[in-house]
Amino acid sequence: NAGVTQTPKFRILKIGQSMTLQCAQDMNHNYMYWYRQDPGMGLKLIYYSVGAGITDKGEVPNGYNVSRSTTEDFPLRLELAAPSQTSVYFCASSFSPGQSIYGYTFGSGTRLTVV
Amino acid sequence: AQKITQTQPGMFVQEKEAVTLDCTYDTSDPSYGLFWYKQPSSGEMIFLIYQGSYDQQNATEGRYSLNFQKARKSANLVISASQLGDSAMYFCALSLIDKLIFGTGTRLQVFP
């Protein structure tokens, strides 16, 4: 049972480059999330999805794009990388948010540096 | 507006003592959940404890308990008998019908 798998674990990008952070889950969770965590700060929601084909913006969506063509995968696209996007990115999934003991499963994170 | 607030950027506690980490939230949804996560220096998010908005009793998980005061919209984490390994960042999070939002965190340092 792999849970939530994020790739890559580390990446260095040059300003203006683009990349896709991959996130996959094998628990058949409908709900998936992307967060960023700046040093010493909390996690901020970038985008989320309540099912295949449905995505919505979170608190900090600017500079990012997502798609959800399958239940399993929820890639995050960075276009024209900027130093302000240097952060640790977490992907998470949930069977049933809200008032639910099932909770959320987190990936191990992707540490991205833009230079 | 939905919001979750942690007002203590850092806390110190002596080993074997109890410590309370504060968390307040704001939502108009009647159904929600409250989570506490621990993030050690290695970076992973570790689930500690959960409280549902309709739960009558405060949640407990080993040395962790959640002091849930619904009318005051607070969900404080109490760690009893602190251990050196409890030193970490602690995040309170509000679970809504479709998403989870986090507070800014409290850095707990346990000293001998």
Q: pLDDT tens digits for A80-113?
A: 999 999 999 999 999 888 777 778 999 999 999 9
Q: Does residue B33 sit at the A interface (CB-CB below 8 Å)?
A: yes
Q: Which of A44, A90, A99 sits opposite B45 (nearest CB)?
A: A90
List CB contacts (< 8 A) between B54 and chain A. 99
Q: Does residue B111 sit at the A interface (CB-CB below 8 Å)?
A: no
Q: What is the mean pLDDT of residues B85-100?
A: 95
Cβ–Cβ of B43/A88 closer than 8 Å?
yes
Does the N-terminal peptide bond of residue B30 adopt cis geometry, omega within 30 degrees of 0?
no
List CB contacts (< 8 A) between B30 and chain A. none
Mean pLDDT of chain B: 95
Q: Give one DSSP letter per residue of B40-88, joined into a string.
A: -TT---EEEEEEETT-SS--EETTEEEEEETTTTEEEEEE-S--GGG-E
Please give the Cα distance from A89 to A37 (Å, whole number): 6
B36-71 residue pLDDT tens: 999 999 999 999 999 999 998 999 999 999 999 999
Q: CB–CB of A54/A107 below 8 Å?
A: no
Q: What is the reported pLDDT for A48?
A: 96
Residue (of A84, A46, A50) closest to B101 by Cα position: A46
B29-43 residue pLDDT tens: 999 999 999 999 999
Q: Which of A45, A101, A109 sits opposite B99 (nearest CB)?
A: A45
Please give the Cα distance from B64 to A110 (Å, whole number): 29
For an interface test with A, which of B5, B35, B44, B45 has the most A Cβ atoms less than 10 Å from its Cβ?
B45
Cβ-based neighbours of B22, under 8 Å, separated by 6 or more: B6, B7, B8, B74, B76, B106
A31-88 residue pLDDT tens: 999 999 998 899 999 999 999 999 999 999 999 999 999 999 999 999 899 999 999 9
% pLDDT > 90, chain B: 93
